[in-house]
Structure 1
Amino acid sequence: MACWLSARNAHARWARLYSLAVDPVLRGQGWGGRLLAAGEDWMREQGLRVCRAEVKTDNQAARRLYASQGYREAGALPDYYGAGLDGVRLIKQLETKRALRTA
């Protein structure tokens, strides 16, 4: 089982990924990357050009996944998840389908 939850800004061309979860039994099999790619395709179809996400600083597996999919770390978020629970903001520029086809 895998899950993707995002929201879009009605007045801008960006969306925020709120949650991405993969059943522990399925981890390490590429489901996270496939789920991200499917969600990004949907975002592109909606005309969105940027995806933002946040992750706990100590969640190294998630940080590796996002980095492998082209997300860059854009800033520290002190106490984002509560006192002493820091986060990292992630951003990915979404290329258009046309740009992806010619690459």
Structure 2
Amino acid sequence: MTVGTLLGTVNEVATSVSSIFDTATKSINMLNRYVSEAAEKQALRSIVDTHGFKERLVEEKTMETVTRKLEIKSFCSQSQHHADLYQATYNEFLSLLENT
């Protein structure tokens, strides 16, 4: 092997290594852009999603609570026995939770 051939081989290896690093850098940059764009889109989506969230939350919880209270009232109005059992059981569960 001559010195010229050896230098040519070293040059080719150096070019190949440089090309690999260039490809890796481009790949990292592409991934960076993709993640940055995804984060920006998520931030915008979050703004839109949270618009009116408080109002919807209060409305939903209000409907759940009213529906539950109406069901309780309907159950208890079936008879005095229903009302008494409901109240006794309610108090029993409440006392269980108060002792924890």
**What TM-score results when the alignment is normalised by the length of structure 2?**
0.21
More strand by share: 1
More helix by share: 2
If asked which structure has higher relative contact order (CA below 8 Å, sep 6+), I would say: 1
